[in-house]
Structure 1
Amino acid sequence: MMVRLVIALGALLLGGAVLAWGGAPALEAWLLPFHLVLGLVVGAIGALLVAHLLVEDWLAPPRPSLEALAWLAPLAALLALPLLLAPAALYPWAADPGLAEGPRAAWFSLPVFRLRVGLLLGALVLAALLLARPGAGRREARFALALWLPAGLLLAQDIVLSRDPAWFGSLQGTALVIEQASAALSLAVLAVLLRRGEDGMRGVDRALLVLATLTVWLWFVQFVVVWMADLPAEAAWYLRRGGAWAWLKAALVAILAAAILLALLPRPGPRRLGLVALLLLAQHIGHGLWLLRPEAPGGAPPLMVELVVAAGVLGLAWWWAALSARRRASARASDH
C-alpha cells in the first residue's frame, strides 16, 4: 500500500509540474502516454470479461498480467487530472465553445465533460476491482460488463475522438476499444513469454488474429462510409492526416498486415507469437500518435518534453503494474 501511495504521489507531482510549468506543449505530450495507459486498462478489462463470461481456458497463462494491467485503473484516474483541469490546451471545443453546436454543445460543455469523464473512470476502477479480485466469476463479470462497455466507448470518444467534434457517435470508438484489447492482450502475452517462455498458449494467437482483423475492418468501414456519403467534416479529418501522416498510416497498415499474416500461419511457436504481439503493440502506439497529434491545437511538443513526460507517465504505470503483478504472484504462491 505504501509503495502505491508513493506512485500516486509521484503522478500528482508530475501532473502538477506539467500544469504549473509545462504549459500546452507538456499537456500535449501528456495526452499520448495517458491514452496508452487508459487503453491498456480498457483492453485488459475487456479480455478478462471474455475469460470470465465464456470460461476460456486459453486465457489462463496471460490472465495474471491482464489483471495487473486492469488494476492500472486507479492510476489512470489520477493521470487524467491534468486533462480535466486544463482541457482548453488540448481540445479546441473547450477553448472555443462555439465549435460544438446543437445537442453537442451541452455534451461538450466543460462541467458535463469533467463530470462524465470522472464517472467513467470511476466505473473502470470498479470494473477492475470486480474482475481482478480473487474468486471473481461470472456474476462479478456481468456487473463489470455493464460498467466497462459504456465507459470504454465513451472514454474513447471523450479523450481521443472529441478533439474533432465531427466524430460524435461514429464507429471509431468501437474500433479503438477493440484495438485496445489487442494491445493489452499483446502486452500480457509478451510478459508471459519473457517471464517463462511459455509455449502452451493455444488459442491466444487466434484471439490476436480476430482482434487485429476486426480492427482493420472497422477502421476501413468507417473510411468507406465517409467516402461514399461525402461527409465534408469527416473527410477533413482524414485530409489533415495527409502528407507525412499518410506515410505513417501506410506503415501501420503494413505492420498490422504482417501481424495478421504471421498469426494465420499454422503451428505458431512462442517466438512467432511474441512477434505478432510485438507488432500489434507497436501498431497501437503508432496509431495513437496518428489519431491524436494532427489535432494538436499548438502542434507537436518539443521532442525533449515529449520524451521526459512519456518516460514519467509510462514509468509510473510500469511500476504500478509490476507491483500488482508481484503481489498477485505471491498471493497465488501462498494459496498453493
Structure 2
Amino acid sequence: MTLFAEAWLLLFLLAAGLVAGALAALAMGHLLGDDWLRAVRPGLEAAVRAAPLLLPLSLPVLLLMGRLYPWAVAAPADPVHAVWFAPAFFAARVVGALALWAALGRWLLAGTRDALHPRRAGAVLLLLVPTSGVAAQDLALSRDLSWFGSLQGFALVVGAASAALAGAALAALLRRGQPQPGNLDGLERALLTLGMAVLWLWFIQFVVAWAGNLPEEAAWYGRRGEGVWLWVKFGFALPALLAAVALSLVPQWRAWRLGAVCALLFAHHAAQVAWVVVPDSPALRAAVAA
C-alpha cells in the first residue's frame, strides 16, 4: 500500500501541476494578447477543462496521508506547523485549491470563443499563483518541514507552467499546419522565458542554501546528491533544461527545434518533480537509516 501511495502521489502531483500550469499559461496568453496563444490554445484549454477530475484523483492522497507525510502520524513539535498541518486543515486546503482552480478555469473559458479576456486572466493569476504555491508546498515539500516556506513551491509551479505550455506546443506541432511560422517567435520567447525562470529559481535557492550553510538545508540537498538522485538531477534534469534554453536562443527557429525544446522542458519537469518528492519518502528514509 505504501508503494501505491508513493506512486499515486507522484502521478497526482504531475497531473495537478500540468493543469495548474496550463491555466497559468492560458491566463498569461489572454493577459498579454500575444499571437502565440492561437497555436497552443486548444491544448491548454483541454488541460484546463480537466481540472474537475483532480478532485477525485486527490482522494487516495488524502486517505493515505498517514503513509506519505510524517506530520500526519505525529504532530510537529512546532505549534505553528502543528496547526497548519492538522490533517483536516490540510485536506481542506487541498480540496479548496483544486475546486478553486476548476472554477477559475471555467470562468476563463466562458464567453465568446477565441476572444481574449485580459481582465479575467489577471484575476485568475492573482488567485492561482498563491494557491498553487501553497498547494505545491503542502503536497510536494511538507514531508520535510525543516525548510518550509521557501521558493521551492513557486519554482515547481513555474516548472509546471513551462511543461504545460511545452505539451500544448507539441500537440500543436502534431496537428497539420500548426503552429504557423508567425506564431513561432512569440511561442519561442514564452518558452525561453519560462525555462530561464525555472533555471534561475532553482539556482538561487541553491545559492541561498549554500551561503546560509544551515544543517537542515544541507541535509535536504544531501539526500538528493547521492546515488541515483545525483544522476537524475545532474545527468538528466539539469542537462535537459540547459539544452532547452540553449536551443531556445538559436535564431530562425524551425518546427523540429521547437519540438525538441518542448520535449526537453517536459522531460525536465517530470524528472525535477521526482527529484524533489521521492527522496523524502518516509519509507525510503527509514530504509536508508536502517
TM-score (norm 2): 0.91
Task: Tell me if 1:237 matches 2:220.
Answer: yes
Note if contact 1:126-1:144 (Cα within 8 Å) is conserved in structure 2. Answer: no
2:125 to 135, 145, 170: 145
Corresponding residue for residue 91 of structure 2: 114
Question: 1:197 offset after TM fit, Å?
Answer: 4.4
Shift of 1:147: 2.5
Q: Find the counterpart in structure 2 of residue 247 from structure 1.
A: 231
1:134 Cα deviation from its structure 2 partner: 3.7
Letter of the 1:133 partner, please give it. Answer: A
What fraction of aligned residue pairs are identical, expressed as a percent? 46
Q: Could you tell me which of 61, 69, 72 is aligned with 1:94?
A: 72
> Structure 2 CA distance, aligned partners of 1:55 and 1:207?
12
Aligned to 2:45: 67
Deviations 1:279-335 (A, max 9, x none): 1101111111111111111239xxxxxxxxxxxxxxxxxxxxxxxxxxxxxxxxxxx
Say if 2:169 and 2:262, in contact at 8 Å, map to a contact too.
yes
Specify the code of the residue in structure 2 equivalent to 1:257: L
- Aligned residue pairs total 277
Tell me: CA distance 1:181–1:28, structure 2 relative to 1, closer, same or farther (3 Å).
same
Looking at structure 2, the residues matched to 130 and 163 of structure 1 have their Cα atoms a distance apart, in angstroms, of: 34
1:166 and 2:149 aligned: no
- Normalised to the residue count of structure 1, the TM-score between the two structures is 0.79
Q: Does 1:211 align with 2:188?
A: no
CA distance, structure 2, for counterparts of residue 158 and residue 197 of structure 1: 41
1:106-150: per-residue Cα shift (whole Å, max 9, x none)? 111111101111111111111111122343612322332232122
Cα deviation, residue 234, structure 1:
1.6
Select between 136-145 and 219-228 the one with higher mean Cα deviation. 136-145
SS at 1:298 equivalent: helix
Alpha-carbon distance, 1:55 to partner: 1.5
- Rounded Cα–Cα distance in structure 2 between residues aligned with 1:88 and 1:190: 38
Counterpart amino acid of residue 228 in structure 1: A
Look up the match of 2:254: 269
> How far apart are residue 88 of structure 1 and its match?
0.9
TM-fit CA distance, 1:36: 0.8
Structure 2, unaligned runs of 5 or more: 286-290
Deviations 1:203-237 (A, max 9, x none): 11111111111101110110111111112112111
Q: Give the 3-state SS of the residue equivalent to 1:278 in structure 2.
A: helix
Question: In structure 2, what is the Cα distance between the partners aligned to 1:73 and 1:167?
Answer: 29
The answer to whether the 8 A contact 1:50-1:56 is kept is: no
Distance 1:255 1:142, change over 3 A: closer
2:264 to 266, 279, 302: 279
Structure 1 position 290 matched with structure 2 position 275: yes
